[in-house]
């Protein structure tokens, strides 16, 4: 499922979350979005791009992450579209920064856009999938394999599949740490999103989300050997992956298919495939305070 094609401006899985979050900000009369992420966060970049287009100022507190070319490009693109990016050393520090800069005119959005509002964007996605199944575009999958970072995508899908009356379950491949926190947050988000979307039968959620923790390696943004191999296999099929999210997920998906050869498995692709080059032409230099967050 090509969530890389969610927008011709900048794709990936954050677009659907913002389709819910930005209208909420406007309806509530907010002028700014204040959020957090890693220094090369796709969520921060997507919010910076689409927030600016919606007439909102975007501010983000960002934390260190291993340096890759992709991470540096995302940061430069944040700056190119006019986002205010504030360095923090830890997520606790980032939280303090967010509290300091929040205010009545600001909507505070958590990491990855993974609150109930953002996850409702993936309830929408599950209903889109149900329609595609009905139209015969694909058989009803037994399983969707998707990357699990901050959890909103997997949670929204799990809730949405239950609401749409599909049998499909979600396998979330964890790429962020600590695993206990990510898993707990995501499971709570499944229930809260289901209820917010009008779900009345929580038993429809039983077994709906399985969490796979074998692909994380040394942690968020740290590449793994299996991920590198999965990236090469996908490249042969014309699918471009990244080492932080989708390569780890695809590695998990390949193993899942091997262990369950009779299942219909849908890989849900979450990485934007829109080139950033046009944006980067006008990017200012990266200030030293942010440069220091790129760990080599
Ligand atoms: C943010 C992101 C994810 C993780 O989605 P969550 O909703 O945060 O779990 C997966 N893949 C890519 C490419 C992302 O940018």
Q: In the beta sheet, which residues pair with residue 62? A: 37, 87
Q: How far is the CA of 114 from the centre of ligand 1 (A)?
A: 10
Ligand 1: list residues with CB < 6 Å.
12-13, 42-43, 112, 114, 147-154, 245-246, 270-271
Phi and psi angles of residue 289, each rounded to the nearest 5 degrees, phi first: -60, -35
What are the structure tokens assigned to 156, written together? 């929204």
Q: What is the 3-state secondary structure (H, E, C) of 218-281?
A: CCCCCCCHHHHHHHHHHHHCCCCCCCCCHHHHHHHHHHHHHHCCCCCEEECECCCCCCCHHHHC
Pocket test for ligand 1, best of 6, 12, 44 (most atoms within 8 A of CB): 12
d(CA 185, CA 210): 14
Output phi, psi for 172, to 5 deg. Answer: -100, 120
Between CA 86 and CA 94, with CA 92 as vertex, the angle to 5 degrees is 15
Residue 142 DSSP label: S
CA of 154 to the centre of ligand 1 (A): 9
Q: What whole-number distance in Å separates Cα of residue 227 and Cα of residue 244?
A: 9
Question: Ligand 1 centroid to 122 CA: how many Å?
Answer: 12
Query: What is the residue with the minimal CA distance to atom 10 of ligand 1?
Result: 147
Protein residue with least CA distance to atom 3, ligand 1: 149
Reduced to 3 states (helix: H, G, I; strand: E, B; else coil), residue 178 is coil
Cα–ligand 1 centroid distance for 72 (angstroms): 18
CA of 15 to the centre of ligand 1 (A): 11
- Run of H or E residues at 32: strand 32-38
Pairwise CA distance, residues 191 & 158, whole Å: 9
Nearest alpha-carbon partner for 118 in 229, 180, 192: 192
Please report, in tens digits, the pLDDT of each residue of the chain (296 residues total).
999 999 999 999 999 999 999 999 999 999 999 999 999 999 999 999 999 999 999 999 999 999 989 999 999 999 999 999 999 999 999 999 999 999 999 999 999 999 999 999 999 999 999 999 999 999 999 999 999 999 999 999 999 999 999 999 999 999 999 999 999 999 999 999 999 999 999 999 999 999 999 999 999 999 999 999 999 999 999 999 999 999 999 999 999 999 999 999 999 999 999 999 999 998 999 999 999 999 88
Ligand 1: centre distance to CA 30 (Å): 25
Tell me the C-alpha distance between 209 and 112, whole Å.
19
Q: What is the maximal distance between C-alpha atoms in the chain?
A: 53
Residue 272 Cα: closest atom of ligand 1: 13
């Amino acid at each position: 499922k090509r969530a890389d094609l969610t927008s011709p401006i900048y794709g990936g899985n954050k677009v659907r979350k913002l389709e819910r979050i930005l209208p909420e900000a406007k309806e509530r009369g907010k002028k700014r979005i204040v959020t957090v992420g890693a220094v090369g966060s796709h969520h921060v970049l997507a919010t910076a791009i689409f927030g600016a287009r919606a007439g909102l100022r975007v501010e983000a507190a960002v934390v260190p992450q291993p340096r890759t070319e992709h991470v540096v490009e995302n940061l430069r693109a944040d700056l190119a579209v006019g986002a205010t990016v504030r360095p923090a050393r830890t997520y606790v520090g980032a939280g303090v920064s967010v509290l300091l800069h929040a205010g009545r005119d600001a909507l505070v959005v958590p990491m990855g856009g993974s609150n109930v509002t953002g996850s409702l964007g993936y309830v929408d996605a599950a209903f889109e999938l149900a329609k595609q199944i009905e139209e015969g575009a694909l058989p009803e999958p037994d399983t969707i394999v998707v990357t699990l970072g901050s959890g909103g995508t997997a949670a929204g899908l799990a809730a949405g599949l239950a609401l749409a009356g599909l049998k499909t379950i979600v396998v979330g491949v964890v790429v962020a740490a600590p695993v206990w926190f990510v898993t707990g947050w995501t499971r709570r988000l499944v229930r809260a999103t289901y209820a917010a979307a009008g779900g009345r039968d929580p038993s429809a959620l039983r077994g709906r989300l399985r969490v796979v923790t074998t692909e994380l390696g040394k942690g968020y943004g740290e590449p793994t050997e299996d991920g590198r191999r999965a990236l090469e296999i996908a490249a042969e099929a014309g699918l471009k992956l990244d080492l932080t999210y989708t390569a780890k997920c695809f590695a998990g998906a390949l193993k899942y298919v091997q262990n369950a050869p009779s299942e219909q498995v849908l890989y849900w692709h979450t990485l934007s495939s829109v080139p950033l080059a046009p944006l980067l032409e006008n990017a200012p230099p990266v200030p030293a305070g942010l440069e220091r967050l790129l760990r080599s």
